[in-house]
Amino acid sequence: MSHLEPPRRRNAGRPNLGSAVGRERIIEGTRELLRSHAPEELTLADIAAQAEVDPALVRYYFGSKKGVFRATANALLADVQARSAQVLSEQGPLRERIRRRLELLVGFHEENPRFVQLVLKEIYAAPPEEGSDGEDLTAIATRGLALTQSLLGDLRNDAGHLPDPRYLHVAVLGLTTFFVDARPLLSVLFDGEADEQQVRQGYIDSLTELLARALEG
């Protein structure tokens, strides 16, 4: 990555009590950088510059660049789970619940295009002592799975079976993530037929119908 402007430097080491500079500022700065840069493109100095702090302060809070990415991944995961819980708390028919979930996830991936990549690498694929900031991975995964279970509610298909929410959980994440990554392909497939917003809405409409029919059948 090309060097950013030098950060406004402060004394290295332990931060002053009451300082406005802290973990959240550095995490938010990292999140902003990851919207336009792959993790491997960033240096600890880039992260410090974005947050306008001394690199020593980043090391103090997180230890290393990997520590910053791990904390950012946890923050992103907490954010999307909180937003999803709020959306899914609203009542409505199955199709409407599916649509709200898809719109939220597509929007979140548009805001944070490296979200899934970061979470899988820095949380789920990391050594147990590193990935989850001490939290059990099963507990982290179960929180996300519970959101899909709430989407299904007490739904039974025509055979009287409840669809396995674990498969649906992974499928929905994959379908919404790949849509954002597939923009170059979509621009070729829909060349001149529809603008980006129309393609986005058409995808959500089609996927809502596909999932609803599969779950109800």
pTM over 0.85: no
Q: Residue 169 and residue 145: Cα distance in Å, rounded? A: 6
Q: Give the ranges where the chain is alpha helix by DSSP (H).
A: 23-33, 44-51, 55-62, 65-88, 94-111, 115-119, 128-131, 137-152, 165-181, 183-189, 196-216
Q: State residue 20's pLDDT score.
A: 41
Type of residue at 183: R
Q: State residue 4's pLDDT score.
A: 52
Q: Residue 44 and residue 54: Cα distance in Å, rounded? A: 10
* Distances 201 to 18, 108, 168 between C-alpha atoms, Å: 46, 15, 21
Domains and CATH numbers, the chain: 1-63 (no CATH), 72-216 (1.10.357)
Name residues whose C-beta falls within 8 Å of residue 120's C-beta, 6 or more positions apart in sequence: none
Q: State residue 192's pLDDT score.
A: 82
Pull the structure tokens for residue 6: 């030098």
Q: State residue 1's pLDDT score.
A: 56
Q: Residue 108 and residue 92: Cα distance in Å, rounded? A: 22
Q: State residue 132's pLDDT score.
A: 54
Per-residue pLDDT 10s for the chain (217 aa) are 545 554 444 444 555 544 445 899 999 999 999 999 999 999 999 999 999 999 999 999 999 999 999 999 999 999 999 999 888 888 889 899 999 999 999 999 999 999 999 999 988 888 765 555 556 788 888 988 998 888 887 676 555 667 788 999 999 999 999 999 999 999 999 998 889 999 999 999 999 999 999 888 7
Q: State residue 149's pLDDT score.
A: 87
